[in-house]
Structure 1
Amino acid sequence: MTTSDHHRPEIVVGLVATPPDYPAQVVARLTAELADQLAERVDADVRWTVRESWGDVAPRRDGGVEALLDDLVHRRVDARWDVAICLTDLPLHTERVPLVAQMSARRRVAMVSLPALGLRQLRALRVAVPGLVNRLLTDTSEEQVLPVGGAPAELTGQVAAIHRVVGEANAGELGYVASRLIGRVRLLTGMVRANRPGRALLGLSKLLVGAFGTAAFALTTTAIWEMGDALGGLRLTVIMLLGLTALVAWLIVAHDLWEKPDRETPTELARLFNLGTILTLTLAAAVSYLVLFAGTILAAALLIDTSVLKQTLQRPVAFTDYLMLAWIISSLATVGGAIGSGLEDEDTVRAAAYGYHPEPGGWRDEKDA
């Protein structure tokens, strides 16, 4: 630290992840670059210090955004931060539209809902977080609070997910909301992104191995060859969809992934959690199916000679016949893999449930470090 740094005023910004799972990874990446962004976009004459943490702010399902902000205030005061920003994977709503961010100048805290940002969350945060910090510092200074259409409206043009601003500008209590239709689509895609379908895909490794075993056995059965030749594209599509549906349904039932409304989880939030779980598992199952399909085509091309297939089908064969054969075998093997999915590790599969958050493991809270 140079001598000039000591003479510059210091502003401490706290970034809190709740729950300490996916949001903690986003906070870690954002913390590494936030000080430079604040110096560039807010004030270069300030010495910015960014602290990252998790733990004290719990995912308060029942209280919504106000409960999060109240918890965040206590964390900010205890840690002696100037302002605090909470990043959460909770899908929040206000006025029946997705809530992207909420700020409270009086409490000097703000919250950003990661799913509402869609797929490109880190890019949006690089704009939204400095903007929220700037707004919090402006509203808590001696300057007059700007009306709606001033500083708050800037985020509506810079962050694609933000459609308009609601709340009491004079009181510094502002909510940044998404559009009703596109915002809901962005929220769902953001939930799948936050739920990390790649983790669910890795969790289905035993299922995929079992499906490959079923497919290898089916390749040696001439009755399957004839069945694939007799069925048309429409029937094969229906069989494929039924197989994927059975797989997703079996995973949800066998591993108790269905979120039930209770005192802590309102009905609307439970519905969103379940939808996020279904979309995540469907994406993971679809990718697994494509891997199985490609592997089955390769195995069929290597094991089944064209003359043998021609003799069985009693007609000339082409590469499309191998595709049809791999199609029906992959669909049948997916159903067999669904039964084998009950042997998957419970914690690995449960990670696909949107409302489930495993222990943080390697994450450490700065306050405890």
Structure 2
Amino acid sequence: MTHREQQHRPEVVVGLVATPPDHPARVAARLTAELAGRLAERVDADVRWTVREGWGEVAPRRDGGVEALLDDAAQRRTDDQWDVAICLTDLPLHTGRVPLVAQSSARRRVAMVSLPALGLQQLRAARAAVPDLVSRLLTDASDQRVTPAGWAPAEMASRVTAIHTVVGETDAAELRYVASRLSGRVRLLAGMVRANRPGRALLGLSKLLVGAFGTAAFALTTNTIWQMGDALGGIRLAVIMLLGLTALVAWLIVAHDLWEKPDHETPPELARLFNLGTILTLTLATAVSYLVLFAGTVLVGALLIDTSVLERTLQRPVDITDYLTLAWITSSLATVGGAIGSGLENEETVRAAAYGYHPAPGGWRDETDG
């Protein structure tokens, strides 16, 4: 197609708004780079698609729910003169106590996608959902530049696994794409952990891990720990481990004020989801830290403690299981010691583990650049 032919094609401008500009901005950035091609392929190849990327509020309104997000996106669409706007958010939203995956409003020419409701594969699901939402918005708004969508809104469920059914006022083109009650909740929680980036929390606990490892290395030199590990059974060792991890997660939440409290801006249901997302994220991060600590303790124990010395203390032959048991109890006790050291962690790094907390996007490029 020549340049002149391209210029004569009708142009449709699609805006992608990420709110807050944290995890949603990363999804939006990757989607923006490929969305024009996907729209040409799946919606209308005779249209010149232009995709604009934008940021929403660092702390989006929580009390207004999805309607507040749609109103904000509609205002942004008008201000920036976009034809349609899609809002990507990490807020977990519900309608009738069922997770809300997406909602579209042809009247406002905007739609919203809740990334956590998409589960773990959020970019892949967004690639499938956003072109359909754009097509539906333009069709329901009777935009003559684009070929009308030849499929019913309910057919989106066959392309986006997270969507179970479509409800709303079809005649008014106000549609809500909802998940199933049970599997949708499980997918929502998994998506919240994914959006909360547990790897960031894991890196934030680096000082804790170093402190716990130092405690474990010191504990390995005392034969009292050897005898305790030999005397305790697997069930009691498992209980000690779970208590240590639970104490660590609780200490991190209390010491760094990560608990979300309901108020006039945060409804109780949303606060509960935020807290559950924080707990799951910290649990995953601390569990991975524990495994790293356990593996390091096994290695150090094998290097420091000669088999003959361990046999003389335990007064019986030993094998690899004894070293694993010793590392197990040592790691569990060191985890509690590491919790005390967690108070020395960088406050901003640990705060990032709270689901409702979003740092200012200083590391992102400014929208006005380039």
Same fold (TM over 0.5): yes
Partner of 2:35: 34
- Give the Cα separation in 2 of the matches to 1:5 and 1:151: 30
Partner of 2:152: 151
Q: Give the C-alpha shift of residue 160 in structure 1.
A: 0.5
Partner of 2:173: 172
Partner of 2:347: 346
For the pair 1:184 / 2:191, whether they are aligned, the reply is no
- Give the Cα separation in 2 of the matches to 1:362 and 1:14: 22
Contact persistence 2:20–2:57 (CA under 8 A): no
Task: Encode CA deviations 1:301-349: one digit per residue, 9 max, x unaligned.
Answer: 1111110100000000010000000000000000000010000000000
- Give the Cα separation in 1 of the matches to 2:56 and 2:126: 21
Aligned residues: 364
**TM-score scaled to structure 1, two decimals?**
0.97
Task: Note the 1:66-215 alignment, pairs <5 A.
Answer: 66-141=67-142, 150-215=151-216
**TM-score scaled to structure 2, two decimals?**
0.96
Match for 2:328: what amino acid? W
Q: Give the C-alpha shift of residue 59 in structure 1.
A: 1.2
Task: Encode CA deviations 1:233-263: one digit per residue, 9 max, x unaligned.
Answer: 0000000000000000000000000000001
Partner of 2:315: 314
For the pair 1:19 / 2:44, whether they are aligned, the reply is no
Q: Give the C-alpha shift of residue 15 in structure 1.
A: 0.1
- Give the Cα separation in 2 of the matches to 1:219 and 1:56: 50
Partner of 1:146: none
For the pair 1:236 / 2:248, whether they are aligned, the reply is no
- Give the Cα separation in 1 of the matches to 2:143 and 2:319: 78
Match for 2:155: what amino acid? E
- Give the Cα separation in 1 of the matches to 2:294 and 2:260: 32
- Give the Cα separation in 2 of the matches to 1:217 and 1:58: 44
Contact persistence 2:100–2:176 (CA under 8 A): yes
Unpaired segments of 5 or more residues in structure 1? 144-148
Contact persistence 1:116–1:161 (CA under 8 A): yes
Describe the shift of the 1:317–1:213 C-alpha distance in structure 2 as closer, same or farther (beyond 3 A): same
Partner of 1:283: 284
Unpaired segments of 5 or more residues in structure 2? 145-149
Contact persistence 1:276–1:354 (CA under 8 A): yes
Q: Which runs of 4+ in 1 moved over 2 A?
A: 55-58, 362-369
Q: Give the C-alpha shift of residue 362 in structure 1.
A: 2.6
Match for 1:48: what amino acid? W
Q: Give the C-alpha shift of residue 366 in structure 1.
A: 3.0
- Give the Cα separation in 1 of the matches to 2:263 and 2:100: 22
Task: Encode CA deviations 1:204-246: one digit per residue, 9 max, x unaligned.
Answer: 0000000000000001000000000000000000000000000
Contact persistence 2:109–2:141 (CA under 8 A): yes
